[in-house]
Amino acid sequence: MTASSASRQKTTPKLTQSPTWKALKDERAAWKNIHLRDLFAHDKKRNARYSLALDDADETFLLDYSKNLIRPQTLKLLLKLAKEAKVEALRDAMFSGEKINHTEGRAVLHTALRGKTPVQVDGYDVMPDIGAVLERMRVFADRVRTGKWKGYSGKPISDVVNIGIGGSDLGPAMACLALKPYGGNIRAHFVSNVDPSQLVDTLEDLDPATTLFIVASKTFTTQETLLNAQAARAWFLDTAKDPQQVAKHFVAVSTNAEAVAAFGIDTANMFGFWDWVGGRYSLWSAIGLPIALYIGMDAFEELLAGGHDLDTHFKEAPLDQNMPVLMALIGLWYTNFWDAQAYAVLPYEQRLARFPAYLQQLDMESSGKGITRDGKPVTCATGPVLFGEPGTNGQHAFYQLIHQGTALIPCDFIAGRESHNDVNGQHAVLLSNFLAQTEALMRGKTLLEVQKELTAEGRKPAEIKALAPHKVFPGNRPTNSLLYRRLTPRTLGRLIALYEHKVFVQGVLWNVNSYDQWGVELGKQLAKVILPELHGGKPGNHDSSTLGLIQRILGD
């Protein structure tokens, strides 16, 4: 089948009625009597069987998926499901520029931003345009970083403030924090919320003469971003006075040149991208400008190369050795057959503190859908709730529920073998916790083990009887472990692209469009109706709760 016919045809219309789905239900039932502890005890090669690495000399990138509730027949069925859903054909359709985002009539080509081979959209090769924007980003980033770009008073830029929200904020903000060791002399700040406190707090310590604002908005119509940009311009002009100087302190990243010009930013200072770059997939485009300013263009291109590594792997590895495919299938196994409604991403890397929030948008905005590509209600659960915090912090907060609660929460544990800062031997302590948690979740602790421990502590029988049930860990709680050498730009690129492709595969399996986000529209529409009412306009036709709250806000 060609890629083109694959994306046109209705994919997996009856996924949940297929014999493979039914066989997976039986497989789930068989798991009632299986414990991972026993599987590990009886199969010394389990780790080797269920691990995959992207190996090159110094960038180890390993996925150990052996601590999952899988056995050979589970994987066989899941892989069959992927074949039946035509994951490979749909993947090829995406890479080749087909308009797989059918509700918006757009191609999905963030992979082209980190690729090298020509890709055509509507018969037009997009690669030369991508190269031209990258080149402009390089020239600009170099000028700013070397102090050749001067502010209105002749001083070089010391601080960059990115004003954007959602996809125009989360990726660059996450990446700048993650790549702090590669940062140079420019500080990067991010303002997204329409709550003015964020802008006020950010600007508090900044000097208008040395601050550069990037107004980042694909559409350049986003209320929050435009309001913050206007307020930032007013703050700047308060000191600089001369509107002519705005050009030296405001640049834009957008697909909408007209709106950028209307806002008052010279389009000579605009970095473009294209409608085939989805917001939450856009950090690889000019939306990554704050990253390039922060870490330099060479390092930014390393990030792109990391994304490309995963693209190559995703395209070329057979399904049973394909990291994003396996992660997607295992995730679906828990969502649809174990009723897992949440999923935790737990980086043992403080600098990945914003990675779960970034993935939250990637996963929940892409897979949080209840209608199939054919416009029918889905017949199974789709995307889970994703959450996470860096380890070890999370251990002292919510891990209790993951270990002993009633919900099954599959987790991804992420860590680097090496730290950029090993102080006081603490990196080994961090890693010992990373390892201990997945082992504990897998093994658990039996009643007998608890009783023995309490007896050894010299506790009395009555005390042991009362306390023991509370100290039992059921185990059999699934985890993936992702291990890389060190958090470099290339590694971060790999990590992000791994999750992007995982989300893509799940979208194919669930037969939803991963690339639209209509669910964010209704609230925006209603906010437009309510705003005039907060300025004293006539009360609208609301429910009594909303009306009551409006009255309280107005102090009536």
**Helix-strand-coil percent breakdown of the chain, rounded to 5?**
55, 10, 35
User: In 397-424, which positions are buried (b, 16+ CB within 10 angstroms) versus exposed (e)?
Assistant: ebbeebbeeeebbbbbbbbbeebeeeee
Residue 142: CB atoms within 10 A of its CB come to: 16
Select from 121, 165, 212, 505 the one that contacts ligand G6Q (CB under 6 A): 165
Stretch that binds ligand G6Q, among 204-212, 269-277, 278-286, 338-346 (CB under 6 A): 278-286
Per CB under 6 A, which of residues 223..252 are in contact with ligand G6Q? 225
Tell me the C-alpha distance between 503 and 509, whole Å: 10
From 270, 199, 186, select the one nearest 232 (Cα to Cα): 199
Residue 535 annotated as catalytic: no
What H or E segment, with its residue span, contains residue 415? strand 411-416
The DSSP result for 300-326, as a single string, is: HHHHHHHHHHHHHHHHHS-GGG-HHHH
Cα separations (Å) of 445 from 43, 53, 405?
20, 30, 14
Among 376, 396, 465, 528, the one annotated catalytic: 396
Q: Please, are residues 191 and 161 in contact by the beta-carbon 8 Å criterion? A: yes
Pairing mode, if any, of strands 61-64 and 187-191?
unpaired
Nearer to ligand G6Q, 399 or 515 (CB): 515
Whether 266 contacts 248, CB under 8 Å: no
CB nearer ligand G6Q, residue 7 or residue 217: 217
Q: Measured in Å, how far apart are the chain's first and last C-alpha atoms?
A: 66
Q: Of 179-187, 236-244, 277-285, 535-543, which part binds ligand G6Q (CB under 6 A)?
A: 277-285
Q: Of 8-16, 164-172, 352-360, 479-487, which part binds ligand G6Q (CB under 6 A)?
A: 164-172
Kindly state whether residue 481 participates in binding ligand G6Q, applying the rule CB under 6 A.
no
Residue 269 C-beta: closest distance to ligand G6Q, Å: 17
Which residue in the set 151, 166, 444, 507 belongs to the binding site for ligand G6Q (CB under 6 A)?
166
Instruction: Extract the tokens encoding 553.
Output: 């806000």
In the list 111, 222, 419, 491, the residue contacting ligand G6Q (rule: CB under 6 A) is 222
Min dist. Cβ of residue 296 to ligand G6Q (A) = 24
Catalytic residue list contains 460: no
The token pair that represents 210 in the structure block: 């040395």
CB count within 10 Å of CB 209 equals 20
CB nearer to ligand G6Q: pick between 254 and 488: 254
Residue of 46, 114, 145, 218 interacting with ligand G6Q (CB under 6 A): 218
DSSP structural state of residue 14: T
Only segment of 75-83, 125-133, 214-222, 335-343 that touches ligand G6Q (CB under 6 A): 214-222
CB of 335 to ligand G6Q, least distance (A): 21
Whole-angstrom Cα distance, residue 374 to residue 378?
10
Closest to 363 (Cα-Cα) out of 423, 308, 410, 302: 410
Least Cα distance to 51 among 39, 66, 72 occurs for 66
Check if 248 is active-site: no
Judged by CB under 6 A, the stretch of 140-148, 216-224, 474-482, 491-499 that binds ligand G6Q is 216-224
User: In the complex with ligand G6Q, which residue's Cβ is closer, 181 or 264?
Assistant: 264
Q: Which is nearer to ligand G6Q, 102 or 180 (CB)?
A: 102
Number of residues that bind ligand G6Q (CB under 6 A): 14
Here's the x/- map for ligand G6Q, 168-187, by CB under 6 A: it reads as x-------------------
Stretch that binds ligand G6Q, among 47-55, 152-160, 273-281, 319-327 (CB under 6 A): 273-281
Residue 278 lies near ligand G6Q (rule: CB under 6 A):
yes
Determine the interface stretch with ligand G6Q among 94-102, 178-186, 275-283, 447-455 (rule: CB under 6 A). 275-283
Integer Cα distance of 336 and 131 in angstroms: 42
**Cα maximum dimension of the chain:** 83
127/257 with CB nearer ligand G6Q: 257
x/- mask, ligand G6Q, residues 344-373, rule CB under 6 A, reads ---------------------x--------
Closest CB to ligand G6Q: residue number: 166
Q: Which of 46, 91, 106, 280 binds ligand G6Q (CB under 6 A)?
A: 280
Catalytic residue among 10, 83, 524, 528: 524
Question: Between 53 and 262, whose beta carbon lies closer to ligand G6Q?
Answer: 262
Amino acid at 235: W
Smallest gap from residue 526 Cβ to ligand G6Q (A): 16
Q: Which helix (H) or strand (E) holds 93?
A: helix 87-95
User: DSSP states of 460-529 as a string?
Assistant: -HHHHHHHHHHH-B-----EEEEEESS--HHHHHHHHHHHHHHHHHHHHHHT--TT--GGGHHHHHHHHH
Among 151, 208, 279, 388, interactor with ligand G6Q by CB under 6 A:
279
- Write out the two tokens for 439: 């082992």
Exactly one of 219, 239, 321, 400 binds ligand G6Q (CB under 6 A); which one?
A: 219
Closest contact distance (angstroms) between CB of 256 and ligand G6Q is: 8
Contact mark string toward ligand G6Q, 516..545, x via CB under 6 A: -x----------------------------
Placement of tokens 């950028």 in the chain: 260
Of 11, 162, 211, 217, the one binding ligand G6Q by CB under 6 A: 217
| Choice among 365, 389, 500, 533 that is catalytic | 365
How far is residue 178 CA from its own chain's centroid? 13
Which residues are tagged catalytic? 365, 396, 524
* Residues at the contact surface with ligand G6Q, assessed by CB under 6 A: 165-168, 217-219, 222, 225, 278-280, 365, 517
